[in-house]
Amino acid sequence: MQAYLLEAYGKQQRLRLADIAEPVLADDEVLVQVHAAGVNLLDAKIRNGEFKLILPYQLPLVLGHDVAGTVLQMGARVRGFSVGDEVYARPGDMRIGAFAERIAVKEHALARKPASLTMEESASLPLVGLTAWQALVEVAKLQPGQKVFIQAGSGGVGSFAIQLARHLGAFIATTTSAANAAWVKALGTDLVIDYRKDDFATMLRDYDVVLHSQDSATLARSLGVLKPGGRLISISGPPDPAFAHKLGAPWLVKLVVRLLSAGVRRKARRQQVHYDFLFMRADGGQLRQIAALVDAGAIRPVIERVFPFAETPQALAHVEMGRAKGKVVIAMKN
């Protein structure tokens, strides 16, 4: 089958189209014919080598963390799916590989795609949907009437998180450009901050939750908008000791992670707020709940552009520019 391979880490490395062996299916896995794959900044960060310390992939590697397609075959222990089912998933960390014609996905990571969506629309959802769900529902336990600051509201995670927070009944503030202000308001934002001319740190006070996705300077300033007992959940780092423990990382990696996050954890304690690093995990059960919200009309996919499979490297470069409005998707047949 054909797939795009990453052969070495580095910002200048370009994915190469190659013929590779078919996936070897384990007893608890489902073989999926890929119809569409979402492209995420995480793919670029892995290519750059930013996660090689904590996610020791073997190269060459097929990237791709979002997939939508049809079931071709099931492992011996799979009971929840049948050949021909239309499904979507965020494959597990060590089982990524959606930039290919076929992929093996653990049954627990897989769900039937939203019935109301196309394959391309479905492929745009798993990573951003699970990230927002695990941040706002699982970690923050966001309640009606609480205030949440979602950074970069026009991005993939931001545009989904705004809709989810609206569904949960929260008051929502976000940052974006003036050009996107009306658009993020239509998604459900209550307060839009133009990051080019306004300072969120002087405008926001006593927030319950911050969903942080920006740089370290923004992280430090974001802690100050929280009320005592509030929670900052970061999807861009630094990783914390709890994350290293969940990974079962070696003691040296745990030490490095502890040192990397020591400053922000110390500042959070001084301000009587909580700091959590979130590296989203695969979860088919949560994808089923997200599909139900989508089919009920509570959340809609936001796609900026669909690239053909032949332009996968260009799609990754486009995402890495950081200006995508919503998600970028690769279609196997465009």
Tens of pLDDT, residue by residue over 125-150, are 999 999 999 999 999 999 999 999 99
Does residue 233 come out as left (phi exceeding 0), alpha (psi in the -120 to 50 range) or beta? beta
The pLDDT assigned to 315 comes to 97
Q: Which CATH number applies to 127-277: 3.40.50.300, 3.40.47.10, 3.20.20.70, 3.40.50.720? A: 3.40.50.720
Domain definitions of the chain by residue range: 2-124+302-331, 127-277
- Maximum CA pair distance of the chain? 58
Q: So what's the pLDDT on residue 100? A: 98
Residue 240 has phi, psi (to 5 degrees) of -110, 170
Candidate CATH numbers 3.60.10.10, 2.60.260.20, 3.40.50.1370, 3.90.180.10; the one for domain 2-124+302-331 = 3.90.180.10
What does the pLDDT read at residue 325?
Answer: 86
Considering the entire predicted model, what is its pTM? 0.96
Dist CA 31 CA 75 (whole Å): 8
Q: Which residue ranges of the chain lie beneath pLDDT 50?
A: 334
**Residue 10: what pLDDT?**
95
Per DSSP, which regions of 151-188 are E strands? 171-176
Neighbours of 135 (CB within 10 A): 29
Cα(198)–Cα(181) distance, rounded to whole angstroms?
A: 13
| Tokens coding 130 | 């699970």
**Alpha-carbon gap, residue 243 to 109, rounded angstroms:** 20
> ∠ CA(316), CA(319), CA(324), 5° rounding?
150
Alpha-carbon distance 318 to 206, whole Å? 36
Contact 286, 133 (CB under 8 A): yes
Return phi, psi of residue 122, to 5°: -65, -40
- Any idea what DSSP says for residue 81? -
